[in-house]
Amino acid sequence: MQLTNTENLIDKYNVAGPRYTSYPTVPFWDLEHFDTQKWHQGLLSFGKKEIVENGLSLYIHLPYCESLCTFCACHKRITKNHSMEGSYIDALLAEWRMYLNILGVKPTIKEIHLGGGTPSFFSSDNLERLLTGILKDAHVSENQAFSFEGHPNNTTEEHLQTLYNLGFRRVSFGVQDYDPVVQKAIHRIQPFEAVENVTKLARAIGYTSVSHDLVFGLPFQKLESVRNTILKTLELKPERIAFYSYAHVPWIKGNGQRGFEDDDLPTAGEKRALYEVGLELFEQAGYAEVGMDHFALPGDELFVAMSEKKLHRNFMGYTTQSSRAMIGLGASSISDIWGAFAQNAKDIEAYKAKVFGGTLPVEKGHILTEKDLFVREQILNLMCHFETAWTDDQFGIIDSEELQLSLQEMETDGILELRPSGLVVLERAFVRNICMVFDQYLSKNMKTEKLFSQTI
């Protein structure tokens, strides 16, 4: 079924909604029934079992940046003082040792991702000290996926070579947009030549997957400027391209996202047109759409994982690794052991104080219920494979009557096709909206404008 009135449907479904890197989403975690002791218990039961049987994913948050990008909603600290690198590395290693002591096993690490902030803010020597300190107490999977986020303006050959020597084969470079007007608005001045240089350096060293991150929906973006950014990107032919929808959430991040006026942003219809331009150009260049907001060349592991229905999604985004156990190290990091979530203290000083005081720096979390786990599985299927299925017994766990009515309305609108005990997404632009009708923590009357970004 084809959409008959795209503009009206965008108006109808362009509401504030989660991006579903987790379920339940963080604003709806049950904090009252969570404590550090329950997190310990979870680690020793289903967490340890998952780690032993299927391996561990490790996310490490490196929160420092030398300048503020006004589009960014990440937890970061803006500074040019690099003397703080050492003590933060010490804290990360101390936190890792605490997890090893709790688990009592030498884990097999399948995946490491260095995020931020700006991981390349840290010197290559400090990154090497961090990673060798972690890897000496772990096994490394034969099919490991080690990746990091690099800023094109400060990622050096030493960064790339050091991390390559430690097993890293994938790097993502934050490009966002090449238009000088847009760059000025988001405070991210970054010439094409810098991106070209680090991309070629990475390939010369031996990285097998280079990703460029682009953002649509930024202030002052126009069709031609986005087209130009994409065409420049295609000149370098990265193996992966992330084409993210800008999440405008200034009420969460304060002045960090107030470097421009709301009127400077594209409307919902204009924003969708920007995406359509990207989709057309990427497909013409041989890229396939993978999940939501991602594109990959057919030979890339992300494309292969999607083709084999092994694509997974967690707080790191889309991943080729299927492990349901992820430990997050560092300020604000979130850990996920499938049956429970835990988030570290966001404030860097509070995080380090807890770690150096000998306690896990967990600040809040959530223990998933049977209903949570069922809905989480459905949403994960939708976000990764754009289809899902269930048994009648599973469907009975949730309020199926209201859900069924909402799904039937979406089928009438042409954005999904219902099947016996399942559905298939027909229009990927609305996948977040489809996930929302499964979400047991949202209600149709709930005001979500100050919780989430717009879905389209």
DSSP per-residue letters across 153-184? TT--HHHHHHHHHTT--EEEEEEE---HHHHH
Evaluate if residue 221 carries a pLDDT over 90: yes
Distance CA 269, CA 361 (A): 43
Considering the chain, what is the average pLDDT of its residues? 89
Tokens (6 digits) for 431? 């996948």
Find out whether 73 is annotated in a ligand binding site.
yes
CATH architecture of 25-367: Alpha-Beta Horseshoe (3.80)
- Could you confirm whether domain 1-12+370-456 is CATH 1.10.10.920? yes
Any idea which residue has 């985004």 for tokens? 317
Here the tokens at position 288 are 């396939």
Q: Is the pLDDT of residue 252 over 70?
A: no
Strands 326-329 and 56-62: parallel
Q: What angle do CA 320, 321, 323 make, to 5 degrees?
A: 155
Q: In residues, how long is the chain?
A: 456
> Do residues 387 and 381 lie in contact, with contact meaning Cβ atoms separated by under 8 Å?
yes
The band of 448, judged by pLDDT with boundaries at 50, 70 and 90, is low
Residue 327 marked as a ligand binder: no
Amino acid 61 reads: H
* Rounded Cα–Cα distance for residues 122 and 216 (Å): 28
262 is in an annotated binding site: no
Residue 247 labelled as part of a binding site: yes
pLDDT of 398: 76
Determine whether the annotation assigns residue 412 to a binding site: no
Q: Phi/psi of residue 64, each to 5°?
A: -90, 140
SS3 call for 111: strand
pLDDT at 3: 45
Taking every pair of Cα atoms in the chain, the longest distance, rounded to a whole number of angstroms, is: 61
| pLDDT above 90: residue 66 | no
Does 176 belong to an annotated binding site? yes
User: Tens of pLDDT along 145-154?
Assistant: 999 999 999 9
Ligand-binding site membership of 59 (annotated)? yes
117 a known binding residue?
yes
| Domain ranges (residues) in the chain | 1-12+370-456, 25-367
On whether 71 is known to bind a ligand per the annotation, the reply is yes
For the full predicted model, state whether its pTM sits above 0.95. Answer: no
Per-residue pLDDT of 327-369, as tens digits, reads 999 999 999 999 999 999 999 999 999 999 999 999 999 999 9
H/E stretch holding 120 reads: none
213 labeled binding residue = yes
Are the C-beta atoms of 90 and 80 separated by less than 8 Å? no
Known binding residue 149? Answer is yes
Please determine, for residue 314, whether its predicted confidence score (pLDDT) is greater than 90.
Answer: no
User: Stretch 302-308: mean pLDDT, rounded?
Assistant: 92
pLDDT of residue 442: 87
Classify strands 77-78 and 312-314 as parallel, antiparallel or unpaired: unpaired
